[in-house]
Amino acid sequence: MNFSKRIEVMQESPIRKLVPIAQEAKSKGKKVYHLNIGQPDIKTPVEFFEAIKEFDEEVLAYAPSQGTPELIDAIRRYYEKYNINFDKDEILVTNGGSEALIFSLLAVCDHGEEVLVPEPFYTNYNGFGNMTGVNVVPITTKAENGFHLPEKTEIEKLITPKTKAIMFSNPGNPTGTIYTKEEMYMLEEIAKEHNLFIIADEVYREFVYDGLEYMSFANLKDISDRVILTDSVSKRFSACGARIGCIASKNKDLMKQILKLCQGRLCVATIEQVGAANFINVADEYIEETKEEYRRRRDVVYGALKEMDGVVCEQPHGAFYNIAKLPVKDAEKFVIWLLREFDIDNETVMLAPAEGFYATEGLGRDEVRISYCLNVEDLKKAMGILKEALKVYPDKK
Amino acid sequence: MNFSKRIEVMQESPIRKLVPIAQEAKSKGKKVYHLNIGQPDIKTPVEFFEAIKEFDEEVLAYAPSQGTPELIDAIRRYYEKYNINFDKDEILVTNGGSEALIFSLLAVCDHGEEVLVPEPFYTNYNGFGNMTGVNVVPITTKAENGFHLPEKTEIEKLITPKTKAIMFSNPGNPTGTIYTKEEMYMLEEIAKEHNLFIIADEVYREFVYDGLEYMSFANLKDISDRVILTDSVSKRFSACGARIGCIASKNKDLMKQILKLCQGRLCVATIEQVGAANFINVADEYIEETKEEYRRRRDVVYGALKEMDGVVCEQPHGAFYNIAKLPVKDAEKFVIWLLREFDIDNETVMLAPAEGFYATEGLGRDEVRISYCLNVEDLKKAMGILKEALKVYPDKK
């Protein structure tokens, strides 16, 4: 029996594929600090659970395909805090940010067409490309430049008649990079001059440190019909399991098209929408405290990395990830070694090998993504373990 | 700004596209009996809500990509009641039956390849074809034959080198048809002889009336590596809003491939999985009573249709739909007329025009799908309204 080529070429999630090896380590009683996955440990606001507990319908019916009116209204009001104004028919609720990105690609690209994506990028973008038949064309960015974009002309060289959009996360996963206003205006110009959409994945909107000013791509009024915002409650409200995201765009014709995709899968889970609609009643302090907590963690991780011999990394200013170049030949082998052969007092650490975050062959092989979703104490221990491990790891560069 | 061709050619859901016209009627105070959508009115088992209310994690974390162990175990035990045996790594939890079908198509077909689908079929199959770039090739079936399959040679004529699977719902939506064992063995033979997968959508498994014996395609041991079961709790537990479905197959290699798609979208909503896992504790009487209730409704609807002048339909033996050929030129226009211009005591009825359930151009234009998801009293009233409406409708054949 043959399977499709498109599924056979899909890579396994570099974030999740080593999980069985971690489980094997745990089954032997080893404690594993998970720096591989962006699963926050911050408590989900109680407002979510309260709303769900009050749900008293006797029939768990389909929700509207576009999302419940209450959740759409809550999302509109949330955006208003960022000076972003959407009408209710400019928002569609999705199964997490993942479905928002898949639907965006289906809506603007036909099979075999292309999107430009700065690399390293959120590794599942590769999977979304496979699923939709869209080629992800990388704009390579480098640790030495803090993963900022190259010159306009460098980006324009990559544009072909098949290019339909530029897609990226900002703040960046896995880089932690925040685009400057100059970079945003450059992307705006490119979009206008080359008739492209901008698919802006802004799920880390809240996590901007060091006093940097944040601006959403939805604030670029000149190209509001070209900007497709994809979003999710997962990170900001520590509610990854809710699978509540959205697509928002001022391009009403586009939204009408995407509504057909929403109708095709009927609706997003009703109860999770009820919970998510109540996030609008979470006090602003929740976000402020969460952000401050991640900033502290960033300092622990980046501070520790800087002290390690042979490690190259830049300070991230957003999200909760740090990409680090390690003095090892192959980061995946190193991670497997950490899980199988290394421990300090029966504790070890798990990282995400970064090669899967690049589209260009060979890039990122000696890099890892470190997610700082653990508390400060655990992070300190985990970074201590990493430091010692690098000292004794046999397969170094 | 151009959108993709694939999204522009997508049809609007024939079940949902007339909803704005129904809302318009309702806003004028007219009561609308909804026979257009398969949204059951039966109460969801309390076990679902009880499990959710007991959920006491403080962080709403990602679930495993394949589904929670508890839900997978509950699904395994549910299948055992039907003499279907799956290992835990042969089941993947999906966002409703919809995602199960999309993932199945992605896994067995490349872009431009084909699946054979008996028509009329669940209209969203067209949308899944659009999304995945798979061509839906219809095997036409007819009301006069109770929508049973044509001869083997007729089906084989449709097979090309691009054909990868046969996909259908059984019991059938929108036909209510249950395949005979002879039909199942015929499909088994075709699958073996032409190296095809069978994608069996069995979400209406429980709803089989008139003493007919039910057999799952998963019981065809000879081709267990070719059968992909897609399933959902939506109908049997009246839990459409849960969006909990699954893919199950004895083909472990295939399941490993599909797991990559699951990882790509991270997970299915955690809380809904907690609720759905508790369906295993619902007493068998719930299903028995539900089935008996739908059987009564079927009798009301089919009994009434038989009495109407010029209406052609066969008695359905499963699911909760009836396809009827009406003595009108265009069923969609008739439905719009029902909503806008007809009422009895300010009440009217809404049906799903059936043209969108066919892939062959021109078929089904005078047909409707009637969903019997209302209680017996309401169904009687609704059928009475339909009868009177057909008497006075001006645009008859």
DSSP letters of A200-224?
A: EE-TTTT-B-TTPPP--GGG-GGGT
Which residue in chain A has the smallest CA separation from B96? A265
A390 pLDDT tier (thresholds 50, 70, 90) = very high
Instruction: Judge whether A204 and A318 are in contact, CB under 8 Å.
Output: yes
- What's residue A144's pLDDT? 84
- What's residue A15's pLDDT? 75
Going by C-alpha positions, the residue among A208, A186, A181 that lies closest to residue A196 is A186
Least confident of A8-22, A43-57, B104-118, B261-275: A8-22
Per-residue pLDDT tens over the stretch A331-341? 999 999 999 99
Mean pLDDT of A199-225: 95
Q: How far apart are CA A321 and CA A60, in angstroms?
A: 38
- What's residue A180's pLDDT? 96
Cross-chain residue pair A264–B39, CB shorter than 8 Å = no
Going by C-alpha positions, the residue among B65, B235, B237, B19 that lies closest to residue A65 is B19
- What's residue A143's pLDDT? 86
To the nearest whole number, what is the mean pLDDT of chain A? Answer: 95
Within 10 angstroms of residue A268's Cβ, the number of other Cβ atoms is 33
Q: How far apart are CA A179 and CA A186, in angstroms?
A: 10
- What's residue A39's pLDDT? 85
Q: How far apart are CA A158 and CA A137, in angstroms?
A: 8
DSSP conformation class of A350 = E
Beta strand ranges found along A11-162 (DSSP E): 31-34, 91-95, 114-119, 135-140
Which residue in chain A has the smallest CA separation from B223? A1
B83 touches A at CB < 8 Å: no
- What's residue B13's pLDDT? 77
Going by C-alpha positions, the residue among B331, B351, B336, B328 that lies closest to residue B25 is B336
Q: How far apart are CA A143 and CA A145, in angstroms?
A: 5
Structural domains of chain A, with CATH: 5-43+285-392 (3.90.1150.10), 46-281 (3.40.640.10)
Q: How far apart are CA A168 and CA A173, in angstroms?
A: 9
ipTM over 0.85: yes
- Among B1, B243, B266, beta carbon nearest to A251: B1
- What's residue A384's pLDDT? 97
Per-residue pLDDT tens over the stretch A285-328? 999 999 999 999 999 999 999 999 999 999 999 999 999 999 99
Mean pLDDT of A39-52: 95
Give residues with Cβ within 8 angstroms of A23, minimum separation 6.
none
Instruction: Judge whether B327 and B397 are in contact, CB under 8 Å.
Output: yes
- What's residue A138's pLDDT? 98
User: Looking at CA atoms only, how far is residue A43 from chain B in angstroms?
Assistant: 5
Q: Which residues of A are less than 8 Å from B102 in CB distance?
A: 265
- What's residue B1's pLDDT? 78
Provide block-wise average pLDDT over 10 residues at a time, chain B (397 residues). 92 81 94 91 96 96 95 98 96 98 98 98 94 97 92 98 98 96 98 98 96 94 97 96 98 96 95 98 96 97 96 94 96 97 97 93 94 94 97 93
A223 touches B at CB < 8 Å: no
User: Looking at CA atoms only, how far is residue B118 from chain A in angstroms?
Assistant: 19
- Among A41, A96, A238, beta carbon nearest to B266: A96
Instruction: Judge whether B218 and B84 are in contact, CB under 8 Å.
Output: yes
Within 10 angstroms of residue A145's Cβ, the number of other Cβ atoms is 11
- What's residue B32's pLDDT? 97
Give residues with Cβ within 8 angstroms of B87, minimum separation 6.
B76, B252
- What's residue A38's pLDDT? 81
